[in-house]
């Protein structure tokens, strides 16, 4: 939920799915937008509940509680205004919330943030760079 931008339920859901996918979430992620005004209509109170799984490197595979092992790789991700093209200046507050909640639950390293969001102004630019531990590209096709 942002101060500057107003999202429709489906628009917010689409952006969150994109960000989760880039942050290494598995394909079975759940994004459930909640809006008072319904889908397709801008809603100042748009919000979403998300659920996702992501990989983490195996530190000690001798653990008896270890789940299934999947191969993963560290991928460098850069998010900024226009990268990917769906992100705009007005998404700055959404990016702050995403970084502080969902990204904090992913396996990341080398997180670098620059820019400052200015409430009620779409002029706040942002840049997020990080490495995420995610499924190898060749494993995703299976």
Rounded Cα–Cα distance for residues 99 and 53 (Å): 16
Q: Tokens 């459930």 correspond to what residue?
A: 32
pLDDT in the model for residue 13: 93
Q: Which two tokens mark 120?
A: 């009620």
**What percentage of residues in the chain have a pLDDT greater than 70?**
82
For the segment 40-73, what is each residue's pLDDT rounded down to a tens digit?
788 888 889 999 988 888 776 555 555 666 678 9
- Report whether 46 contacts 17 (CB < 8 A): no
Q: How far apart are CA 16 and CA 10, in angstroms?
A: 10
Which tokens belong to 2?
């942002």
Task: Please name the residue that has the structure tokens 């790789």.
Answer: 73
Helix, strand or coil for residue 15? helix
pTM of the model: 0.80
Whole-number pLDDT of residue 71: 78
pLDDT at position 50 is: 94
Query: What would the mean pLDDT of 25-31 be, rounded to a whole number?
Result: 91
Please, where are the H alpha helices in 23-105? 92-100
d(CA 39, CA 28): 22
**Distance (Å, whole) CA 93 – CA 116:** 9
Average pLDDT of the residues in 97-101 = 90
Report pLDDT for 69.
Answer: 63
Spell out the domain ranges in the chain. Answer: 9-54+70-140
């Amino acid at each position: 939920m942002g101060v500057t931008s107003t999202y429709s339920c489906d628009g917010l859901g689409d952006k969150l799915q994109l960000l989760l996918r880039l942050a290494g979430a598995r394909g079975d992620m759940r994004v459930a937008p909640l809006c008072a005004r319904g889908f397709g209509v801008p809603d100042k109170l748009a919000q979403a509940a998300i659920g996702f799984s992501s990989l983490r490197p195996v530190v000690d595979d001798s653990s008896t509680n270890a789940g299934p092992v999947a191969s993963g790789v560290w991928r460098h991700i850069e998010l900024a205004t226009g990268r990917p093209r769906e992100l705009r200046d007005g998404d700055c507050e959404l990016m702050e919330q995403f970084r502080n909640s969902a990204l904090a639950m992913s396996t990341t390293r080398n997180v670098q943030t620059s820019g400052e969001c200015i409430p009620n102004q779409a002029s706040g630019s942002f840049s997020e760079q990080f490495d995420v531990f995610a499924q190898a590209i060749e494993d995703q096709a299976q």
